[in-house]
Chains A and B, each alone.
Chain A
Amino acid sequence: MKDAKKILLALKDKEAVEEFKGILEKGGWRALTAQNGVKAMETALKEDLALIVADLDLPLIGGERLFRILRNNPHTSRLPFLFVSDPPALEIRGFRPGTDVYITRPFLRDEVYGNIKEILLATDEPHDDKVIQGRLSQVPLVDIIQMLHMNKKEGVLVVRSDRGTASVFIKEGRIYDAKCAGTEKEKALFRILTWNDGTFEFRPVPVAVPPRIRGTTGQLLMEAMRQQDEFENSKAAFPPETSLLKTAVDTSKLPDGLKPIMYEILSLVRYYPRVKDIVDRSSFTDYETYRTVSSLLDRGILKEVESATPDAEGAGGPISPTQALRIKEKVVSRWSDMLGVDFGRIFVAASSGSLLDELLLATGDIPGFTQGSPSYINPGTEEDTAGGKAIGEIGTLKLYGGMDIIFFAVPLADKMAPLLNAFSSNLIGLMLLWDEDDEDVLNALAAIKDEVLSRRRVPVVHIYGGKEQPDKTAAKHYRDALKMKQDETLFSLAPKGSVFRIFKSYFNMLLKEDYISSRVSSA
């Protein structure tokens, strides 16, 4: 068993592990085990595995999430998965038919054995072929592709340059697909073909992807060269990539039957005003996108709002435009209705109305922030000072790319869970704000935190609003009362200007962690 292939059994059920161990012994493979997703991930990164057999509902990190994490890691991206679940079979995003296998219980031992054997055979790299590699400055990419085409090769051409890493999938000399920094198909291929520096490496491995690029290799290369030449000739007439655009007409009144690229660009402009973002996100090639944007500008359908320089773009705000777009994409990806998501909501629970006002006053300095209607509590009434009883929108922070962050006050009162649930669509955060050492207040804040986190995983910001920062004993007391984790920061509204740091930290948390679960657990 010294050289036996290692197969990780990431199964929660001990009986299933034993059953699979029996199957693996029959094939002469070595079984490693992990009872939860975290352990499975550790093992996958540490060991040289040939396959992972994973339960879809693994504890801590589910099977699907584990799959996505390992797929995004270059060391494990090609590791095949055999998913096991109870019926009905679920769809797995990124599932690679031909590489990965999905089986539902109950299953036959022989069938599983056959599946494992097939997977391992398919992923075995042939040892008779050698990897071809070199520098693009010495051999242009067009020549490499032509050579692979002439020799009817099969494999993946990996290209690395300072602009990123890209892959071209070739089978029998034909280009099947290409991927490059979030783009794919012809768009990615044409982009890669403009790269003049960097390295390439051809890996002769079986290609399991379906053909997604139409046309012969010759036609594709000719068209890529034509578009490259046209782009160079027309570059001066195209808008700069930092230009900000907006639609100048009511797009619903445009005639039917326009080219699909026009509809796509008009739809993208609604969400991504910067030319570079439109070009990156359009499914059409860079040249076609630039040409259409330019044509829409000439016809007055689009207009240039302003041209932002990279240095000036992020000035003043707590996050850069790129971060703002990443936040938007992250929020959008968590909810299915892309067009319906142009805002994210942060619940704000404060121990008093005056503290809420203080936060709003401090937040007012942040560019893009507008305070909501001042009537969120009845001015001059008992409620005005009763504190913490505000409900609804109290302010909005506009982010680059057309995303609003809404600050939504929730009342500090018993039995408010239905209210929190009802208004938690697009929830992306929770802010807890207090300024007194009152057990009831801290308990109420902790209850809100528990309720929100039981439904959605969102970053929680804990802000002490006292005039001075809390001392060590008080800080420990607050941390305990609010069940703060060790890596969570206890912020303070003092000194002046701290709110900027709080927002920056919150957005970083939102971007770093896998926050925001998509759905309320079916209530």
Chain B
Amino acid sequence: MNSANDGTETARFSLLQESDRTGKGRFYDSSFISEYGRLEAVRSERYGIPFSIVVLHVESFHGGKVPDKKTLIAFLKTLVRSVHKVIRSCDITGILGDKSIIILLPHTDYFGSLITIKKLSRALEFLTKEEPHASLFLSQATFPKDASGFGELVSTATARISERIQSQWEKLELRSKLFWETVAVLTGTNLDQSDLSTFDVGPDHDLGNYFLQRINETVLQEIRRKPEKKGILYIGAKKISKDLPIVDSLNSLGRTSTKIFLVGEGRQAGCDVKNATAIYLADHRLLTTYFTLFLSEDMAYGLICRESWGDAHNCFHTSDPYVVESLITKFQRDYTLQEQL
């Protein structure tokens, strides 16, 4: 996990070194974490209960410069306090390396770790806005979903940090943008990556508009295959009506552990949608946009299509769980919906 500034003297800093001065017992050292994590993995395997880790990475400070020792120690102390305010008493926090902190979350599944990340992001937001303006990244990994042992789990989480730092999401500076601003940037940029790309659908393109309908059906098929898996699905259907094929499919879906929301423009209509919560929002932008945002323990898929010319749509889709989760969070925040995963 090399920082862009690692080559310069000024950019070097070590949480590992400074952590000694934050007071004994606040952060465990890496050998303790390694041993505890190994045991937690054994316990988790034995009792079939998942556990997760969250890695908090301090990539750099304002202007790529490292603050003086005093500021750095004060920053670390604030970081420790803020982290400890958010986590549970059973969670274990330790130093992972020069720039990273690891939090072990016993008895916590994938969604539980995402909620911890949400809380941490909110609690640490002020550190990114105030001196020394730290650039923070958070990632998670869940056992046994992401790894067969503790070492592999840590590698997965740290690799995700590296990917996040290099991601288009960061390059396009989407972190601080609102939902519709983000949608505008993503659908208006030419992207061609294995986990994030843009394309067009419509009469003169490779894919017809049936693609948008089929995607929702396919996602529902996935939910039907594993109804016990936790998940969250937002479907933006422009206008909700009982004639929509997706309404029929939702009505016949049956009980699942996935929270499903059908979003449409306008006031509440007399349309009965079973197995999903209908959300009516007075925003004309919804009338020109289809979206499907699905996040589950097994997969992530996000598709957003905005009307362009005639019957054609500019679309982007992603399989990056971080992007899908961020879009869901932005949508919930911007419309002051209940924040949930």
**Do these two chains interact?**
yes
Chain A residue, CB-CB nearest to B316? A418
- Bits for A358-401, please: 1 = Cβ < 8 Å to B, else 0: 00000000000000000011100111001001111100000000
Question: Is the CB–CB distance between A392 and B299 below 8 Å?
Answer: no
Within residues 41 to 93 of chain A, which ones have a CB less than 8 A from any CB in chain B? Answer: 88-91, 93
Nearest-neighbour CB distance to chain A for B247, whole angstroms, equals: 15
Q: Give Cα A414 to B226, complex, Å.
A: 29
Assuming the A-B contacts A340-B298, A413-B207, are A419 and B221 also in contact, with contact meaning beta carbons closer than 8 angstroms in the complex?
no
Assuming the A-B contacts A89-B34, A91-B38, A522-B156, are A418 and B207 also in contact, with contact meaning beta carbons closer than 8 angstroms in the complex?
no
Question: Is the CB–CB distance between B195 and A391 below 8 Å?
Answer: no
Question: Is the CB–CB distance between B149 and A91 below 8 Å?
Answer: yes
- Among A90, A382, A414, A422, the residue within 8 A (CB) of B299 is A422
Inside 8 A of B146's CB, which chain A residues have their CB? 519, 522
Interface check A312, CB cutoff 8 A: no
Assuming the A-B contacts A90-B152, A423-B222, are A417 and B193 also in contact, with contact meaning beta carbons closer than 8 angstroms in the complex?
yes
Question: Is the CB–CB distance between B149 and A90 below 8 Å?
Answer: yes
Question: Is the CB–CB distance between B207 and A522 below 8 Å?
Answer: no
Question: Is the CB–CB distance between B319 and A523 below 8 Å?
Answer: yes
Question: Is the CB–CB distance between A336 and B148 below 8 Å?
Answer: yes
Q: Interface residue tally of chain B, by bracket?
A: 35 or more
Q: Give Cα A344 to B210, complex, Å.
A: 26
A415, A422, A423 — most chain B CB neighbours (10 Å):
A422
Chain B residue, CB-CB nearest to A392? B218
Question: Is the CB–CB distance between B192 and A415 below 8 Å?
Answer: yes
Q: Give Cα A105 to B221, complex, Å.
A: 48
Chain B residue, CB-CB nearest to A345? B225
Interface check A454, CB cutoff 8 A: yes
Chain B residue, CB-CB nearest to A89? B151
Interface check B307, CB cutoff 8 A: no
Q: Give Cα A417 to B149, complex, Å.
A: 29
Inside 8 A of B210's CB, which chain A residues have their CB? 377-378, 381, 383, 389
Nearest-neighbour CB distance to chain A for B246, whole angstroms, equals: 13
Question: Is the CB–CB distance between A389 and B208 below 8 Å?
Answer: yes
Nearest-neighbour CB distance to chain A for B53, whole angstroms, equals: 12
Interface check B113, CB cutoff 8 A: no
Interface check B41, CB cutoff 8 A: yes
Inside 8 A of B154's CB, which chain A residues have their CB? 88
Chain A residue, CB-CB nearest to B226? A340
- Among A88, A389, A418, the residue within 8 A (CB) of B197 is A418
Within residues 160 to 217 of chain B, which ones have a CB less than 8 A from any CB in chain A? Answer: 160, 163, 192-199, 203, 206-208, 210-211, 214-215, 217
- 19 pairs of residues in contact across A and B, judged by CB atoms under 8 Å: A88-B150, A88-B155, A336-B144, A337-B144, A337-B145, A381-B208, A381-B210, A389-B208, A390-B214, A414-B199, A414-B206, A415-B192, A415-B199, A417-B195, A419-B301, A419-B317, A455-B194, A522-B156, A523-B319
Across the A-B interface, the 3 shortest Cβ-Cβ residue pairs? A91-B149, A336-B144, A422-B301
